[in-house]
Chains A and B, each alone.
Chain A
Amino acid sequence: MKKLMTSTTLFLSVLCSAASLAAEGDIGVAAAMDDRYCTTCHGVEGLGNIAIEAPRLAGMEAWYLKRQLENFRAGIRGKHGEDLQGNAMRPMAAKLSDESITDIVDWIGDWEYVPAEATIEGNVRQGRTAFQACAACHGANAQGNEALGAPALAGQNDWYLLTQLRNFRAGFRGSHQEDTFGSQMVTMSKTLRDDQAVINVVSYINTL
């Protein structure tokens, strides 16, 4: 009996609302979309999402974030046909206005920084040696250096660092004529002898 009652009440409430909803199509008219859609890919509060290969944004330096968004927007980054992840990000920035970028950078600045979990294991000792060449720009603790335009690497998703180093080495990132900062990294990434060396240096960065 109880069950019956529930479905009757349900049914009545339907009759009242069905007509309006069915005509409307969407429940709740979609508001004009703002540009704060980043977390769908980059995870809640920009913690990074391995399944989308979108890295952690929380804690990222405002100046670096801004430059990357501008570079994606201008097609300086993410345009190379083999840069699959960059290809996914570039259209996300293509229509951002300057005001929007400022707003987003502010917004991201509010997110809590949580260092990413390590997922890669290589030879940390060899990685440490290789990192000496990196420290000049990225800092001894991979904390970044604004004056040189080199971002922090510590705490970033290691799978993402791996893609970037591989892409710099292959010229998928950093080979656009106007990518002055990226092109420095193309040169630097070549100091890493092979893919194992890339894995090792990222494993070392994981310890910082």
Chain B
Amino acid sequence: MADPVVAIIGAGPAGVRAAAALVAAGVRPVVIDEAMRAGGQIYRRQPDGFTRSYTDLYGSEADRAKAVHDCFDALHGHVDYRPQTLAWNISDRRIFTAGPDGQQVLPFDALLLCTGATDRLMPVSGWHWAGCYSLGGAQIALKAQACAIGRRTVFMGSGPLLYLVAAQYAKAGAEVAAVLDTSSMSASVAALPRLLAQPATLRVGVGLLRDLRRAGVPIHRGITPVEIHGDADRGVSGVTVRTSRGDALTIDCDAAAMGHHLRPETQLAELAGCDFAFDAMVRQWLPVRDADGRSSQPGVYLAGDGARILGAVAAEAAGELAALTILADRGYRVSDTARQDARQAVARARRFAEGLARAYPWPHEQTSALGDATILCRCEAITVGDLRRTIAETGAEEANRAKAFSRIGMGRCQGRYCGLAAAELIAGAVGTPVEAVGRLRAAAPVKPIAIGSAGRCDR
């Protein structure tokens, strides 16, 4: 019998641990990742020629980062690793990729999607000015290129990345003008019991707060964003918020990093035919999966933040668990204790994630307060008013219908960065629950690819 083709898309902590578990069982997986080097988001490696130490790069997570990198490096020769390769479509149990060798088609027996996450963004008036980045983008600039997004940066939004990236900027010597958190202190306190599910992670979070305070960074909680000031020539020049007491607070800065935790990259799961369900806790549509990582599609498995935001520690466990499930489903003997340990780690992370969702709730109600002139879809420059007018004039109550009429989510990012806020805005305007609005359908290619990548047919 020929060896099964097991493909992993994504070489972050989930994909790396999955590959290791497969190799340990004697399977040689194909590992596809569009990045230059393995490691994923949190353990993103610096480019060749950069020489920062693990502690400089990853702080408290240095040991984990090194372990994941070493793990993958040790698999060299045992995996069919395809870096700089975008998986742009899945059809009929085949993966279509575009990479250094052009277009390729890979039929698979089992597929594990470990595609990670991107920032969840809430529009703010002025967020289109140059110098306004997502928290993740601000971190990538620092991690990959050792650059800050500005001389004096405001961090605004909520979620763990808010404090993490601000602290990393402060540590790297960049000026952090303020941390402005939409969530309240009382929400964090109420979330504590659940956050204790991962005490080590909680400790890291508490440490970040301490570091920021020591660095003299003003931290405001329970704020409401009002405006990012700026103009087309100079970009961002300041941020105004309403404090929890209702006062206006304006802070001068030349850059703003914003975000509200993360959203999974689920497009490939959708193209692979996986079922989705609405998750009320995070107010997102997520691919359905069982406790061991099986999706609703036979042979398609899901792990890591690409399926549900559970963080890097859980991603490692879920990656390993999904790989063991693939092996078990294909008749290999796998260790029950290893699976049980991984299941428990994922369960703890789920409890922790519930805590995070309570501590840092997605401020969906903000969409109804957004002014008509605020840009909602930055790719297509569609304003909040444009969408409201479309809803009023056409009666569009469903996400894809609103997209068809207004162009919302029709640009390069395919609604990644505006889709969730747009759905909330529609729900608010129509007066329906957000799940009734549905979600923007995924379409290939999951990221833009050049027509020329298909080659030419010269005659």
Does B bind A? no
